[in-house]
């Protein structure tokens, strides 16, 4: 078996596992970035269909757009989660804890 054939097989196996993993995760939680990964993994395999420079460039641009989409939805999700946690804390009448910058430094204190 040639090295290039082995590379294609390993790439296909990793892409299949990743696609299945993120498809199951998407069906469970319905997060948009997971759906983008479900599309992105098989798209990476299209590089083996042609060596035309225009084709490879267009494929690279598509993958870059998918990457930007994943990053956008990941950070959007974290921001939403932080806002939801803050709202829940306010509903319960709690106050936010101090941030690490505001917390006193107890490392230099010596207990006797």
13-39 per-position pLDDT tens digit: 999 999 999 999 999 999 999 999 999
**Nearest CA-CA partner of 36 in 76, 67, 77, 78:** 67
Q: What is the CA radius of gyration of the chain?
A: 23
| Residues 58-109: tens digit of each pLDDT | 999 999 999 999 999 988 866 667 777 778 778 887 665 655 555 555 555 5
How distant, in Å, are the alpha carbons of 38, 85, 102, 104, 108 from that of 70?
A: 11, 23, 33, 37, 43
* Torsion from C-alpha of 76, 80, 86, 91, nearest 10 degrees: 170
Q: What predicted TM-score, i.e. pTM, was given to this entire model?
A: 0.65
């Amino acid at each position: 078996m040639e090295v290039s054939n082995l590379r294609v097989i390993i790439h296909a196996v990793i892409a299949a596992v990743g696609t299945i993993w993120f498809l199951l995760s998407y069906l469970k939680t319905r997060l948009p970035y997971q759906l983008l990964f479900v599309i992105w993994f098989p798209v990476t395999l299209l590089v083996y269909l042609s060596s035309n420079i225009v084709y490879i460039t267009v494929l690279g641009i598509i993958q870059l757009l998918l990457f930007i989409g994943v990053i956008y939805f990941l950070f959007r999700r974290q921001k939403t989660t932080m806002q939801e946690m803050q709202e829940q804390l306010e509903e319960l009448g709690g106050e936010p804890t101090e941030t690490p910058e505001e917390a006193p430094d107890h490392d230099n204190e010596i207990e006797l």
